[in-house]
Structure 1
Amino acid sequence: MENRIVVGGALVHQGRVLAARRSAPAEVAGRWEFPGGKAEPGETPQQALERELHEELGVRARALAPLPGEWLVRPGLVLRIWAAELLAGEPHPLQDHDELRWLGPAELAEVDWLEHDREVLPAVAALLADVPTG
């Protein structure tokens, strides 16, 4: 059986990336992640990420490119984190999160990331370094 994909989005806007604090489930509540969710059957990772960011945050975003790495969340479920850009809307924590923060490159270490999200931070920092601010 093929692994089901979970996509996380490193949502970039004006030189910062969005971090979301989990409110559930209990074992990860209070930890930070790149928001996203499971791809539905027949969806590409890009489609899944764009849909999930709309459902979870109420924003329109465009998936840009996968960041290096993939992580087995549990048997049959693999996480891939994608760079994405904010197209429209102001993100709000609508599902599974209780706080959002925009972090610049120097602030990435200020939150308690879930392990797999922490592993992609060097790629996120490099992404932010390439994005013009303003």
Structure 2
Amino acid sequence: MLIVVAVALLRPDGRILLQKRPEGRDMAGLWEFPGGKLEEGEQAEAALARELAEELDIHVEPQNLLPACFASAAIGSKDLLLLLYTCRIWEKLPRSVEGQELGWFTLSQMEDLEMPPADIPLLGLLQRILRP
């Protein structure tokens, strides 16, 4: 099983940051929550903070990553477990270190985007969690 950690970075206006998978990678062109693979022996929150520093050049304290929901999907011959966190506090403006396109979207806008199979069910779960 492949475990992936990801985050819904939440701005005060309710928009959430997504990144577009670059050409040359699996699922190129799909929008996804930022994050990455959990390395052996790594805690999920520490792994996510590391990935955000590497991908977006932002600093996130692990205690500011709040577990939100999870989803699973079959990706080729592997089973993927995606752990999604929310975060409202980070340092610096997110920027794409690897040149990926970034965008801030509302949950309703995300419903019209092409996303990886494991990310899609997270939208409805986030709507329930973030509902005022």
Q: TM-score range by the shorter chain?
A: 0.7 to 0.9
Partner of 2:9: 11
3-state secondary structure, aligned to 2:86: strand
- Bigger drift between 40-49 and 79-88 goes to 79-88
- Kindly report the root-mean-square deviation, in angstroms, between the aligned alpha carbons of the 2 structures: 2.2
Q: In the alignment, residue 114 of structure 2 is paired with which amino acid?
A: D
Matches within 5 A, 1:1-134: 3-14=1-12, 15-61=14-60, 62-73=64-75, 74-75=77-78, 77-95=80-98, 98-130=100-132
The alignment's TM-score, normalised by the length of structure 2, stands at: 0.80
- Count of residue correspondences: 127
Q: CA deviation at 1:77?
A: 4.8
User: 2-side partners of 1:78 and 1:56: how far apart?
Assistant: 20
Any unmatched runs of 5+ in structure 1? Answer: none
> Percent same amino acid among aligned pairs?
31
User: 1-side partners of 2:118 and 2:79: how far apart?
Assistant: 16
The alignment's TM-score, normalised by the length of structure 1, stands at: 0.79
Q: Residue 4 and residue 113 in structure 1: after superposition, are their counterparts in 2 closer, same or farther (change >3 A)?
A: closer
Any unmatched runs of 5+ in structure 2? Answer: none
Q: In the alignment, residue 13 of structure 1 is paired with which amino acid?
A: R
Structure showing the higher strand proportion among its residues: 1
| 8 Å CA contact 1:69, 1:80 repeated in 2 | yes
